[in-house]
Amino acid sequence: MSVTSQSKQKSVTKSDRTVQPAKLARKVVAAAKDVNLFGTDGIRGHVGQHLTPQLALQVGFCAGLELGQDASPHQPFILGQDSRNSSDMLAMALSAGLTAAGLDVWHIGLCPTPTVAYLTHHTEAVGGVMVSASHNPPADNGIKFFQANGTKLPPTTQGKIEQRIRAYSQQQPSGTWGHHFHRPELTKSYTDAIQTPLHAQVDFQGLKVVLDLAWGAATQLAPAVFKAMGAEVICLHDQPDGDRINVNCGSTHLAPLKAAVNLHEADVGFAFDGDADRVLAIDCQGRTVDGDYILYLWGKALQQQNQLPKDLIVATVMSNLGFELAWQQQGGTLLRAAVGDQNVHAEMLNHGSMLGGEQSGHILCPHYGVSGDGLLTALHLATIICQNKTRLSCLVDDSFQTYPQLLKNVRVEDRDRRRNWQECQPLQTLIDQATDDMGDQGRILVRASGTEPLIRVMVEARDMRMVNHWTDQLVRAVETHLA
């Protein structure tokens, strides 16, 4: 489905426009001059410290110049946001920069991140940007860019934007000023696109679903889509609230959803994060159905439909060994990528895979979308439940047993120590000892988070006692030598 420009047909009033004085853009001093701005999922940080309106204006202007090099005058740029209190401010700053670069901005307002990706791909937009810090706490925020095909920016393009920011005082405005349009009506084309193909196959009549919307970006769209598909819907945290987004709810805190699924005797519960690009599920027994289980179940469905080339699934180094062994028994191959949906997407392109994702619930399926999409994933999992005429708990029982796995986060504020943790010899020695001790019965993953000031320590093994022992030892080493 394609969405065409309406800017020529629509009369524009003063309230529809954002005026960008060129002098303001020229006077801002470039921030983070010697620091890489882009992490594993765009630019993210604490608002007012790492992420400021001045920086957002610069980023918008420089991204507009880079992505709009071959654009026609007033070609659009899609802009969306989550419910954080700082999102309005950062969205307006980005819009100021983009319009100063000569692009029109179509601001669709509160929406899931994949809505921006979809609209960027299916309109004549030169790019898209989402203001959100995903699962981070309310005081953080972030900026995620998409190129014209709806995928996230490759590292090379991110690097070019950073180079422009570092040379900000030398960047020249185009001399053609864009306009800012409020276009919330465009979200309907996204919801139509994700539900229409499924509605032709199945309806959700008789399915009772609990949705935890995390006070975030999916509060308006997700309940409407599930109801349109025929499900009985119970909602938690279903109003946009910038003070409470992700706080003790959503995909990072599943206790309220588990309680609600039990209380309402629901068939399934879905928990989204703040920008709804990922989802986790809860079955009627209160068990967590994470991205590994979703990949396995969706992979089997695609396999049966002959829509999974080479029976290949791309996961990450975080995916459970039990999942890998079960998929191999299914006749498939599991390829592991580095953490981050961009890394998963890159490996999918390299190997022609049509399904990939992360244990955290970022799922990519090019048959249906160009980006990780929590709402789309939830709809497909509900479809699998209905088509099998069973409950999610039965599907989980018939899938695989996970190895015990424990992940702990250690806060490391020092950026250099965090990035160069592999140079810490005492920690490396301990990792070698743990690896030798577990042999082929387990594995260890230590990595620096690309979105938060954390060192993540994960241990997986057949024996939970071994998991607990080595996790405690490694966490203590990180705290002693890095924190």
Q: Residue 189 phi/psi, 5° resolution?
A: -65, -35
Token pair in block for residue 445 = 């993953």
Token pair in block for residue 430 = 């301990």
Question: What's 86-154 look like in SS3?
Answer: CHHHHHHHHHHHHHHCCCEEEEEEECCHHHHHHHHHHCCCCEEEEECCCCCCCCEEEEEEEECCCCECC
CA distance 151 to 377: 17
Any catalytic annotation for residue 319?
no
3-state secondary structure of 414: coil
DSSP 461: E
Burial 461-471 (b: 16+ CB within 10 A, else e): beeeebbeebb
DSSP 40: T
Cα–Cα nearest to 48, from 134, 139, 135: 139
Q: Lay out the sheet containing 208-212: strands in order across.
A: 232-236, 208-212, 268-272, 279-283, 288-289
- The total of other beta-carbon atoms located within 10 Å of residue 345's CB is 24
3-state helix, strand, coil in the chain (%, to 5): 40, 20, 40
Q: Is residue 474 within 8 Å of residue 427, measured between CB atoms?
A: yes
Q: Is 146 exposed, middle or buried (0-12, 13-18, 19+ CB in 10 A)?
A: buried
Question: What is the longest distance spanned by two Cα atoms in the chain?
Answer: 70
Token pair in block for residue 155 = 């590292």
CA angle at 53 for the pair 51 and 57, rounded to the nearest 5°: 110
CA distance 227 to 231: 5
**The one catalytic residue among 83, 95, 134, 393:** 134
Beta bridge pairs of residue 79: 107, 129
CA distance 375 to 111: 11
CA distance 57 to 55: 5
CA angle at 42 for the pair 92 and 360, rounded to the nearest 5°: 120
Active site amino acids: 134
